[in-house]
Chain A
């Protein structure tokens, strides 16, 4: 077929009809199919990105986890499930996993409570409310590297401001960045970013119908009772979201590394033991010891654990999370 023969869109000649078929012969595309096509068309950039940047690396890491590959050496070999069985007998894995669990259990509720508390405060009709909201949210936009540098300077034993204040009152300086205090500095660095939780909770608070609060007030309910019986249930989907994302973020945190005085790849193992979390163990196995296979196995185990924990959170909160969904939207 030549260019001359290309049917022109909208042409109604017999040749054109013959080429395209009559409307009765053409397969009809249903509205659902069109919607599906539009859906896949619009989501395809994300799907392609997800395949290339998530599924492929995950599959590669899974393959690595069955090898002794170190990135350079020529004589790596397959070890089957060897890395996975070693993982279960590695005391550092279990210790770091335990610390990570403890860190998640303490840091997630603390940051949610702090963020929600701040949100309730700045949701009140106070003067300069916008300024307070901005100031409280600002720390959350500071990059983690900046937070790490600032905290290291603040809590340095010999020249940090924290010890400067302590010594004014006659107390001896503390080694904040060493055991046993390093865990508290890590917690403080997490709370520093409570503005993130605050901003999401604030959006949730503003979605709570005012009539419910007014009705409660007319019924004589106290502020605490109103908060407990109206605000919290209506905020429960937001709180669930923050719990799930908070747990995932806390087990993946690299903040201990940013707080480490020796931020080199090998320096990761010089972290105070209380801050040697699971991801630090993964990092040291990958980059300090060059054990790509073993570190990939550690990551796959973490991935499965996160799935399980997330599933458990959904399972155990299903009875207490209240979804205020528009019935029409369910159709």
Chain B
């Protein structure tokens, strides 16, 4: 007997239909759980941001709702979670990324949305107002710095510059570095050795820290400063045996061997320079302008701290790149692109961008926001003068699309300690690095196709 409209259901049939309904409902709920935004433009929407806690505070999330009527849901940045969400076809609407290294990697894998059409019609983020650092987020299918824009940096620094503590220089009787002319890397290391203080096998004052943002970017920057390029022209191979790359590698290994600052063989438990520099236990810190955000908040440290230009190699060229350019990008399969772009504009060009610019935690990425950089105190004016002079030497150092910075960093970590501990020559290390890193690049090239 088949039930029909208006007829009573048998108990068995009722139970079967209920079960089917429940299963369908569960599946639908599951689908809802994966779908993080509505896909409809206009107010009252939800946009998912995969960021780190420091990128956007809970107060800013509330502010977004007030300012632009968009609800922001944050997911903690985690590359494995990102891969999982992308594999499921439900990526976040905006994702944190390091422009210097992530942009070519993800763009080459065709998972990033081309933002040029959005920029073209934006009245907030005008292309002529974008700082050149945003070119780190461009990739033309071959070279970083050219082609469509896939993201934008929230702020930036020239990460080869360094801060120094005049109090510790005075104590050690070492002359301050010049404010507009760069010291050589050799002079920097010599100063670091003179500034280092040790007692009973413990380092009480680090003479200087020089580790860049991530080691691969640092080595690419050092090689550029020596007048060469770490990658081959098509970015499919790396070569540490060229005279320039070898010079860069030799200097960095010497830095590790000298134990004047944190390195793989002498790690800093704080994992970054800020707390050690603030505690007057580090005379020089290879950090760009962004460290001023911390320094400005410490009234004792601020008058003692000064910023210096990026060092140069003798016979090399003066370059002062940004090694990070951290910002946001939009996955190609984002569900709610229009609302995500509204958040993008607000985050990079409106209230949050202005607040960041005046905090000193980095240089604003819109030229129009530069006047907001802190310059009330004498020490701030001095720092700003050095920084403005350094901007003339800014350049984009293109990174390979075939490997993540993490992967090359991991491979460097595996090989370099032997050289830093004196158990391997720099030439042998260069050979080992070429071997393992080129293997990784080869795998990446195969996968990009």
On chain B, the residues within 8 Å of A72 by CB distance are: 83, 86, 106, 109, 111
Pair A173/B413 contact, Cβ less than 8 Å: no
Report B415-440 CB contacts with A as 1/0, cut-off 8 Å: 00100000000000000000000001
Residues of B within 8 Å of A57, CB to CB, are none
CB contact under 8 A between A289 and B11, given known A71-B83, A159-B269, A266-B413: no
Determine chain A's interface SS by DSSP, over half rule: loop
Write out the residue numbers on chain A whose beta carbons fall within 8 Å of the beta carbon of B410.
265-266, 268-269, 284, 288-289
Residue among A2, A5, A290 with the highest chain B CB neighbour number at 10 A: A290
Size range of the interface on B? 35 or more
Q: Which residue of A lies closest to B215 (CB)?
A: A266
Q: Report B-chain residues with C-beta under 8 Å of the C-beta of A262.
A: 267, 271
Q: Closest Cβ of chain B: how far from A162's Cβ, in Å?
A: 12
A169 to B443, CA, bound (A): 54
The smallest C-beta distance from A148 to any residue of chain B, in angstroms, reads 11
Say yes or no: B11 contacts A6, CB within 8 Å.
yes
Q: Is B176 an interface residue (CB 8 A)?
A: no
B265 at the interface (CB under 8 A from A): yes
What is the 8 Å Cβ interface bit string for chain A, positions 55-68, against chain B (1 contact, 0 not)? 00000000000001
Output the least CB separation between B295 and chain A (Å).
Answer: 22
In angstroms, how far is the closest chain B Cβ from the Cβ of A277? 14
- The smallest C-beta distance from A269 to any residue of chain B, in angstroms, reads 4
The contact string, 1 if C-beta is below 8 Å from chain A, for chain B 436-449, is 00001001101111
Report whether A266 and B80 are in contact in the complex, using a CB–CB cutoff of 8 Å: no
B79 at the interface (CB under 8 A from A): yes
- Quote the shortest CB–CB distance from A264 to chain B (angstroms): 8
B414 beta carbon closer than 8 Å to chain A: yes
- Closest CB in chain B relative to A217 CB, distance in Å: 53
CB B89 to nearest CB in A, in angstroms, measures: 13
Q: Pick from A5, A177, A270: contact of B413, CB below 8 A.
A: A270
Are B447 and A75 in contact, CB atoms less than 8 angstroms apart?
A: yes
Of B201, B214, B269, the residue contacting A173 (CB under 8 A) is B201
Q: Does A97 make an interface contact (CB < 8 A)? A: no
Instruction: Give the residue name and chain of the A residue nearest to B262 (CB).
Output: A261
- In chain A, positions 35-74 with a C-beta closer than 8 Å to chain B are 68, 70-74
Please name the 5 residue pairs, one residue from A and one from B, whose CB atoms are nearest each other, closest first. A172-B201, A73-B447, A261-B267, A288-B410, A173-B201
Please list the residues of chain B having a beta carbon within 8 angstroms of any beta carbon in chain A. 1, 7-11, 79-80, 83, 86-87, 106, 109-111, 200-204, 214, 264-269, 271, 404-407, 409-411, 413-414, 417, 440, 443-444, 446-449
Given contacts A5-B10, A175-B266, 8 further A-B contacts (CB under 8 A): A3-B10, A70-B443, A72-B109, A73-B448, A75-B448, A266-B407, A284-B410, A287-B406
Identify 26 residue pairs between A and B in the complex whose beta-carbon atoms are under 8 Å apart, listed by A's number.
Answer: A2-B1, A3-B9, A3-B10, A6-B10, A71-B83, A72-B109, A72-B111, A73-B448, A74-B448, A75-B448, A75-B449, A157-B201, A157-B202, A157-B203, A163-B201, A163-B202, A172-B200, A177-B267, A178-B265, A261-B268, A261-B271, A264-B406, A266-B410, A268-B410, A269-B411, A289-B410
